[in-house]
Each structure stands twice: as C-alpha cells, then as structure tokens.
Amino acid sequence: MLPSQLKPEQFQAYSPLARELAVNRLPLLQQLPEAFVPFLLKEIVSLDSKFPSERAEIASQLAYLENLPVPQRDRELATFASLKLSPELQQFDWVNHPQQYLEKLSAHLWATHQMDKFRSASEEYIDNFYKAMPAPEPATHRFTAVLIGKGVTQTNYRLFRKLRRQGTYYSQVKPENGLATILETAEARAKANVAPFAHWYIDGGHAVTNSSSTLTTLSYDGLAGIRTALNARMRRAYDAHLQSEAFRTMLAQMTPADLGLHGAGGEEVMQSFAVSLLTEGSGTQVFSTTFVQWAAREALRRARPLTLVVRFTPRLRERPMNELLAAPPESNEVDPEGSLLDADMGAWYTWLNLQRLTGFAQSTCLVWFEDHTEAVALGPKMARGAQVATPIDLQELLRELA
C-alpha cells in the first residue's frame, strides 16, 4: 500500500489520541515517502502512553514537515523516496504494525546495502529538523547524580577514567548520609520546578524513597513481578524453539496488560515505559546494572527530565562454564566488583546521554562511589581534568556543582 492510499478508517485500531492525530494529519502523511511514513506512525501509534516531551516532539515534527514548502520537503526526503523496497515490504500492513515493518525494513536495508544511504538521510533529516524546530530549553539546568559501587568494600579499578577528563575528581568526599543528601536535593528540585515526569529516581535494587516522594520512581526490585511474568513467557518461547525474528516480534507486541498491568493516566505511561525497558532492552531482564543504565538512557531520551538520580546495585554473577557444569545454574549470588565496572561505564553513558539534551552546556552531573570517598563532578563550574584532595561533604559538593 502507498501512503497516498491512506484512509481515516485504517486507523480504527489506534488508541484515541493516536487516532485523532493520525487522522488530522492524513493529508500530510499521504504525501510522504513509503519508507518514511512508518517511522512517524511508530511514534504516533503509541502516543497515548508517551511522555509529554515525546508528544510535543511528534507534534513538532509533523508541524515541521507540514510547514516545509513542498519542493523543499521533497528534496529533504528524496533519499527515502529513492530506497528500493521489496514486494513483501510494500504489501505489509505498516499502518497497524509499524514496529514490525521497521524491523523488516532494517533487515532489507542491510541486505541490499542501502543502510548507509538510509543512515545518512536520517541524520540529515534529523539535523534539519532540530535546526528548524529546536527542543525547548529546560526550565532550570538539568542535574543528574549517579551512584555506583554499592556493596564494594575496596577496588583496584581506576574509577571514572573517562569522566575525569570531563570534570573534577574528588578523592576526599565524606560519604556520610550521601544517598539521603542526593535524594533530598532531587526532591527540592522537584518541588521548585513542578512538571510531570520531570524528576526521576531509578534504583537497581529497592527504591529508598517513601510514598510521599515527588520523584518519578522506578526500581528493579519493584518490577520483580513483571520480570517474572516476562521471563516465563521468554522461557516458553525458548522451549517452543521460536525463531529469532518471531521472538522479537512477540516481545515488541507485548503490552502492560499482557503482563497483568492495568494502569490509567500517568500510571499507564510509566507501566508502558517499564515494559518497554524489559522488552526492548537487551539484558535488562537479567542484569540490574544493564537495566539501570538502559532505564537512565531511555528516561533521558524520552522524558527529558530536569533531575535524574541513578543508583546502580550489584547484579547477578555470570557463572563460568565449569561452575555451570558442576552445579545447576540456579543462583542469586551477586558480583559487586563486576557491577562496579558496569556502573562506571553506565555513568559515562548517562553523562553522554545528558549532553544530547537541550541546555547541556548548563547541565551538571555528580558520580559518586557510594559509601566511599571518590566522586567526579561535571558541569560548567567544574574544571576539566582537575583533582581536589581536600575533604568535602556531599552537601557542599552539590552546592559547588549547582
């Protein structure tokens, strides 16, 4: 089917907000290339369970495309229009299953050596879009705190090796009340800049905040029920020898309701987000460190928060082959030292992802080896590559960073 053949009734299966948006923008969608429209529909189809910033961005992109003079729009999208698609793709129901279509499109582009061309066109398009319609500046500077190394008593690993070049390394941080101090700072920011999904706390174990917290909170332990239900489904798929692509499709189609969740409003948005972390993220179902890193990345990318506290905890230990052969693979033993390395890299990625958001020149970040004396602070007031060896408590350090 071609985009020019799109009709309003084809969006009947969409949820209310998504259907309304797609139908309202039908004249635009009908004029766009076949290899391009499904990207928009993939975002539109799940509009009802998206964060406010995502909804705004979709609206912004549609407005951008709508406002471009037709010859210019045709030029910008010419590469997409020139992609050679297979008959299977052309016949696929991309209106109702845009995600599956994009998986097939991806495989097709790789196999036909069109991926590089597609990638260049994508980058060019998104650059043009952001230049024309920059995302709004944040209401206040963004702040992220990353806590790593929970459960490690000592290490020989040289921490923050990538981050030290970007900020100031502190070797004499007083660790007392560190987590509480950081969460209090986050709560204060949440009260000063009230907005939905703008202040987050992600924990690899139990969330330590109470029910009165104003932070959007997500914890690995809090998702134990969903993870168990999901792992059971994955296990059944494994036993049934479900092939790779079918398996991915099964995961992509999974909804919160499939896993026993029935939220509404903001709760529905968070449940959908949590399920997406576990079904789209690789390794998030098994390793808490992977979950925390991926959750932080996705929260920054999708919700664009003003405040983000990320706390890594020890993940399960990957047992070597000889141990697995000697005993069944059931074990809850954790690997604090390996988790520290995972988290150190996760902190680096969190900083990089923070930099991809508007206002990054003013963004600040604190990475702390939890319960220890080492930290690195990054932000406009922090000298790059500098070291501070004088004692400082976390409250004071946070004040210097702000």
66 interacts with another protein by CB under 8 A: no
361 interacts with another protein by CB under 8 A: no
Question: Using a CB cutoff of 8 Å and minimum separation of 24, what contacts does 123-128 make?
Answer: 124/76, 124/79, 125/76, 125/77, 125/80, 128/76
Residue 163 to residue 170: CA distance in whole angstroms: 12
Nearest CA to 142 out of 399, 359, 398, 382 is that of 359
Find the binder of another protein among 154, 328, 333, 390 (CB under 8 A): 328
**DSSP per-residue string spanning 319-355:** PPHHHHHHS-S----B-HHHHHHHHHHHHHHHHHHHH
326 interacts with another protein by CB under 8 A: yes
**Position 43: which residue type?**
E
Query: What is the nearest approach in angstroms of another protein to the Cβ of residue 58?
Result: 9
Residue 338 to residue 355: CA distance in whole angstroms: 26
Residue 316 to residue 65: CA distance in whole angstroms: 47
Q: How many residues bind another protein (CB under 8 A)?
A: 71
Query: What is the nearest approach in angstroms of another protein to the Cβ of residue 158?
Result: 9
237 interacts with another protein by CB under 8 A: yes
Find the binder of another protein among 229, 247, 268, 393 (CB under 8 A): 247
Find the binder of another protein among 140, 205, 248, 395 (CB under 8 A): 248
Residue 174 to residue 172: CA distance in whole angstroms: 6
Query: What is the nearest approach in angstroms of another protein to the Cβ of residue 273?
Result: 14
For 206, the token pair is 């139990």
Query: What is the nearest approach in angstroms of another protein to the Cβ of residue 110?
Result: 4
Restricted to residues 262-301, the positions that interact with another protein (CB under 8 A) are 281-284, 286-287, 289-290, 293-294, 297, 301
47 interacts with another protein by CB under 8 A: no
169 interacts with another protein by CB under 8 A: no
335 interacts with another protein by CB under 8 A: yes
Query: What is the nearest approach in angstroms of another protein to the Cβ of residue 149?
Result: 12
348 interacts with another protein by CB under 8 A: yes
**Secondary structure (3-state) at 114:** coil
Restricted to residues 67-106, the positions that interact with another protein (CB under 8 A) are 102-103, 105-106
Q: Side-chain half-sphere of 191: how many Cα atoms within 13 Å?
A: 8
Restricted to residues 174-233, the positions that interact with another protein (CB under 8 A) are none
Restricted to residues 3-42, the positions that interact with another protein (CB under 8 A) are 39-40, 42
Find the binder of another protein among 162, 213, 360, 371 (CB under 8 A): 162
In contact, 199 and 144? CB cutoff 8 Å = no
